[in-house]
Amino acid sequence: MADEEAFRHFVAERSPALLRLAYLLTADRANAEDLVQNALVKAYLRWKRIETNPEAYVRRILVTVAADERRRPHRRHETATEAPPELPGSDPFAAIDGNVRLRAALAELPAGQRAAVVLRHWVGLEVAEVAELLGCSPGTVRSQTLRGLDKLREAYGTVRDDAHG
C-alpha cells in the first residue's frame, strides 16, 4: 500500500509535466493523454524497480512509445494539414488565433522533426541520445532539429507580426 501511495503521489505531482511532454511529442491532446496513461501503467507495474527515479523511466517510455508510433506503417502515411484536425469550436484555444497557428505549425511538423526538436530543446537530451532514441544518425538529428525549429520560428514570427499589426 505504501508503494501505491507513493505512485499516486508521483502521478499527482508529475502528470502535468508528463502531459506537456507527451503533447509536444504527439501534437495531439487525446494522444498525449493516452500516451501518458500507458506509460504510467508500465511504471506502476515495475514501480519497485524504478522508485528511485520514476520520472526518468516514464519520460523514456513516452519518448520510446511516441517514436514507435512514428515508425508504424499507418503513421508513415500521416500528412500535414493546413489546419489542426479538431473541429472549429471544439478547441478551447480556437479563439486565440496565434495559438491555433502555432499549434498547427507543431502538428504540421513531420513526426521525426517534432520529436528531434522536443527531445533536444525541451527535454534537453544530447544529440547522440536523441539519435539513439529515434534510431537515426546524429547528423539527421541536427538537420531535423534545425528544420523543425525554423518552421516553428517562422510560425511564431508570423503570429508576432500579426499581433504588432
Binding residues for another protein, rule: CB under 8 A, are: 4, 7-8, 11-12, 15-16, 19-24, 29, 32-33, 36-37, 40-41, 44-45, 93, 99, 102-103, 106, 117-118, 121-122, 149, 152-153, 156
User: Helix (H, G, I), strand (E, B), or coil: what is residue 87?
Assistant: coil
CB of 102 to another protein, least distance (A): 6
CB of 128 to another protein, least distance (A): 19
Q: How many CB atoms lie within 10 A of CB 123?
A: 18
Interatomic CA distance for residues 49 and 66, integer angstroms: 23
Question: Residue 55's closest CA among 156, 123, 141?
Answer: 123
- Considering the complex, state which of residue 6 and residue 71 has its C-beta at the smaller distance from another protein: 6
Pair 19, 41: CB distance under 8 Å: no
- Considering the complex, state which of residue 70 and residue 103 has its C-beta at the smaller distance from another protein: 103
